[in-house]
Structure 1
Amino acid sequence: MDILSLSPEEREKALDAVRKVKFPIYDGCMLPKFPPIMANTEKHMQSIRNFDSRESDILLCTFPKCGTHWVHEIVSMILQGDARYTKGHKLNFMMEACNLEELANAPSPRFINTHLAFRHIPKKHVDNGYKIILVSRNPKDVMVSFYNHIDRDPLTSCGEDNFPGTWSDYIQDMCENRHNIYGGYFNYLSEWEEAKKTKVVTNVHSAFYEDLKKNPVAEIARLAAFLNKELSSQVMEDIANKCSFKNLVDATKSGQKGEDVLPLVSRDKTNFVFRKGTTGDWKNWFTVAQNEMFDQVLEREFKGIDLKFTYEL
C-alpha cells in the first residue's frame, strides 16, 4: 500500500495503524517500520548483507540524527562537481527502506546510505575495501534530536509501547537500551570503532558532525580528496553555503530538491528530518541528574574506546 497515494483521511488512518505496530526485530536490533522490512524482515536484512556491491559504490553509514541528509547532499554535490541541489529523496538509495532489486540495477556510481549496524551492512563492500563514509555526532545531541524525530515519525514511534513517551521516559529508556533502534547508538559506535581498530573494515572516511559545523569547507575538501574529486575552492565554498542548515531547509521546503513528502506523514505535518541543526541543544533538555546518569553510561559503554566528542561550539 502506497500511503502517499491515499486521501488525507485514509492516510491518517493508515499512519495511525503504523504508529501502533511494534518494531520488527532482527539479530537483537529493533528496526524502523519500513515496508520492505515489515514485509519480510529476515529476507530483506539477509539480502542487504549479501548485496552485490560494486567497486564504484560509495556507502554512507550513520546512526540516525548524525547529519545524514546534510552529508548526503554535500557528497552528492561533490560527486556531480558543483553546488546544484539534487532531486529525489535519499530513501531511494537507503538499503533498509528501498527496493533492493531496483538498487541492484541502478547505474554506477551508486551512492548508497544506511543506518544499519556495521555487522549488517553488505559483506562484499566491507571485504573488498570499497569506500565508506562514517559520520558520528556527540551522543547527547543525538539523543535530543532523535527524541524529537521519533515523536513525529510513524516509522520510529510505537503507540503500543507508549514510545517515546516523555523526555524523562525516553532518556531512561535509551540509557537502558530498551528500545534499541538499530541496536542503539552506544553499540553502533562501539561496533564501528572495534571494526576499524582491528582492520576488519578499511577505506573508511570518518567525520564528525561538529567538525562539519565548525569548518565546513575544510571538511568538504577532506571528503572530496577521499572521493578522488578535484574541486576548486570556489565550488567547495559554494557547496558549504548551499548546504548550510538554513539554506538546505529552505531548499527542501521550497521544492528545489523535489517534492517534500515528509510533512504528509509527520504527526505534526512538519519535516521531522530537520529541527535545529545546532550543537549543544542537549543542555536545554538534560537535567543535572539525567546528565550525570548519561555520563556514567558513556563511561561504561565506551571504556577502552578512543572517542572524543564535542558537546558545544
Structure 2
Amino acid sequence: MDIVTVADDEGNTLEYKKYKEHVFPKLVRGNVQDQLAQVAQLQCRADDILLCTYPKTGLHWTYNIVHMLVSGSATYLGSPRYLEFDDIANIDSMPPRRVFATHFEVCHLPEAMKCGTGKIINVLRNPKDVAVSYFCFLTSLNSPVYSGNFNGFLKFFLNEDFLFGNWFGALKQWLDIRKTYPDMKTLTLHYEDMKRNKLQNIYTLANFLEIPTGEDFLRQVELNVEFSKMKIDHEHGPAGSDTFVNISNRGVLPIYRKGDIGDWKNWFTQAQSEEFDRVYQQRMAGYDIDFIYE
C-alpha cells in the first residue's frame, strides 16, 4: 500500500495510509487490509479488556490503571499491545487476563467483541485539548507524519480525511454503539473527570471489570497514577516496542506532555476557536454531549 501525502497551500503536509475511505497512520501493519481482517477474526475471551480510544485522550494512563487493577500490583507497566501496530499472533498468545488497546474506529473492532465477548473501555476528552496534544505528539516524532504549523494541523484535524477516521467520526461511532452493537459491554469515561475525581473513576473501573479490591490498594493505585509520576516512570523505564524504535527514543513514544485541562487556550487564536466551534456544531448536529474545556 502506498503512503498518501497531502499538502495545503502553505506547505503543511500530512502522510497516511488509506483503505476503503478510512485513513490510518503509516505505522499500521502491512497493507491495512490484512491487519483489519486479522483483527476482525481475533479469538476473544470472556475476560478480555480492550481500551478503545481516540489518540491523545488518556489511553496509556487508563491502561496502567487497568493493569494495576488486574495484576493487583500498583506498578507502572508501560505501553499496551495495539491491534493496529502489533502482530495479532502476539496478542493471541497473551496470557489471561488480557489487556490490550486500539485507536481503531468501532467499526474495525473484533467481531466477537461487537457481539458481547470481553469488555471495552473508552475515554473521551474535549477535542480542543486533543488537537493540541496530537499536534505536539506528531511533531515530536523522529519520522514525520505531520509537518507544519499548528494552524495547518487544525485544518487537517477538522477535515474528513484524518488519522483513525477523524475525531468526529470516531466519536459518533462510539455514541451510536447502543444502536449499532447493542450487545457490546462498554464503559465510557471522561478524561477531565478522571483528572478531577481520580479515585472515584478507579472505583468505577474496578466495578466494571468486576475486580474485588480494598480501599487501601485503590488509594495506592491513585498515588501511582499521578501524571507527573507516570511521566517519569515512562521516560526512564525500559525500552519500548520495536514498532516505534525508528520514530522515538528507544522505542518509547513521547506519550506524556502536560496532561492539563484547558491547555488549548495557550494555542488557539480567537478565530481558530470560533472556526473549530462552527465545525463542531455542524459535524455533531443531533448528538448531545458536554465536554469540559477548562
Q: Quote the residue 1:259 is aligned against.
A: 239
Calculate percent identity across the aligned residue pairs: 30
Three-state SS of the structure 2 residue aligned to 1:206 is strand
| Distance 1:201-1:152 versus aligned 2 partners, 3 A rule | farther
| Distance 1:169-1:252 versus aligned 2 partners, 3 A rule | same
- Equivalent in 138, 144, 160 of residue 150 of structure 1: 138
- Kindly indicate whether the alpha-carbon contact (under 8 Å) linking 2:122 and 2:186 is maintained by their aligned counterparts in 1: yes
Q: Quote the residue 1:244 is aligned against.
A: 226
Q: Which structure is higher in helix share?
A: 1
- Equivalent in 180, 189, 197 of residue 207 of structure 1: 189
- Kindly indicate whether the alpha-carbon contact (under 8 Å) linking 2:113 and 2:184 is maintained by their aligned counterparts in 1: no
Q: Quote the residue 2:159 is aligned against.
A: 176
Residues 39-48 or 134-143, more deviating: 39-48
Task: Please state if 1:45 is matched with 2:36.
Answer: yes
Code of the residue aligned with 1:49 in structure 2: it is: A
- Equivalent in 55, 76, 81 of residue 85 of structure 1: 76
CA distance in 2, matches of 1:183, 1:230: 37
CA distance in 1, matches of 2:14, 2:121: 32
Deviations 1:82-107 (A, max 9, x none): 31222x531xx211011111211222
Deviations 1:155-193 (A, max 9, x none): 6x44xxxx3411111112222234x10000110001110
CA distance in 2, matches of 1:119, 1:270: 29
Displacement after TM superposition at 1:68 (Å): 0.8
| Distance 1:201-1:149 versus aligned 2 partners, 3 A rule | farther
- Equivalent in 3, 12, 19 of residue 26 of structure 1: 19
Q: Quote the residue 1:98 is aligned against.
A: 86
- Kindly indicate whether the alpha-carbon contact (under 8 Å) linking 1:224 and 1:230 is maintained by their aligned counterparts in 2: yes
Displacement after TM superposition at 1:259 (Å): 2.7
TM-score (normalised: structure 1): 0.83
- Kindly indicate whether the alpha-carbon contact (under 8 Å) linking 2:53 and 2:122 is maintained by their aligned counterparts in 1: yes
Three-state SS of the structure 2 residue aligned to 1:65 is coil
Three-state SS of the structure 1 residue aligned to 2:165 is coil
Task: Please state if 1:58 is matched with 2:49.
Answer: yes
Three-state SS of the structure 1 residue aligned to 2:25 is coil
Task: Please state if 1:194 is matched with 2:184.
Answer: no
Q: Which structure is higher in strand share?
A: 2
CA distance in 1, matches of 2:163, 2:104: 9
Three-state SS of the structure 1 residue aligned to 2:100 is strand
- Kindly indicate whether the alpha-carbon contact (under 8 Å) linking 2:158 and 2:166 is maintained by their aligned counterparts in 1: no
Task: Please state if 1:305 is matched with 2:287.
Answer: yes
Displacement after TM superposition at 1:81 (Å): 1.8
Displacement after TM superposition at 1:120 (Å): 0.3
Displacement after TM superposition at 1:23 (Å): 1.6
CA distance in 2, matches of 1:145, 1:131: 27
Give structure 1 stretches of 5+ with no counterpart.
1-19
Code of the residue aligned with 1:26 in structure 2: it is: Y
| Distance 1:305-1:103 versus aligned 2 partners, 3 A rule | same
Following TM superposition, where does structure 1 have runs of at least 4 consecutive aligned residues deviating by more than 6 angstroms?
261-264
CA distance in 1, matches of 2:196, 2:129: 16
Deviations 1:99-119 (A, max 9, x none): 111211222221110000000
CA RMSD across the alignment = 2.2
Residues 229-238 or 272-281, more deviating: 229-238
CA distance in 1, matches of 2:179, 2:197: 26
Three-state SS of the structure 1 residue aligned to 2:235 is helix
| Distance 1:22-1:298 versus aligned 2 partners, 3 A rule | closer
- Kindly indicate whether the alpha-carbon contact (under 8 Å) linking 2:114 and 2:181 is maintained by their aligned counterparts in 1: no
CA distance in 2, matches of 1:270, 1:54: 29
| Distance 1:58-1:271 versus aligned 2 partners, 3 A rule | closer
- Equivalent in 67, 85, 90 of residue 76 of structure 1: 67
| Distance 1:263-1:112 versus aligned 2 partners, 3 A rule | closer
- Kindly indicate whether the alpha-carbon contact (under 8 Å) linking 1:252 and 1:260 is maintained by their aligned counterparts in 2: no
| Distance 1:197-1:138 versus aligned 2 partners, 3 A rule | farther
Deviations 1:108-153 (A, max 9, x none): 2211100000000101111134211111100000000000111123
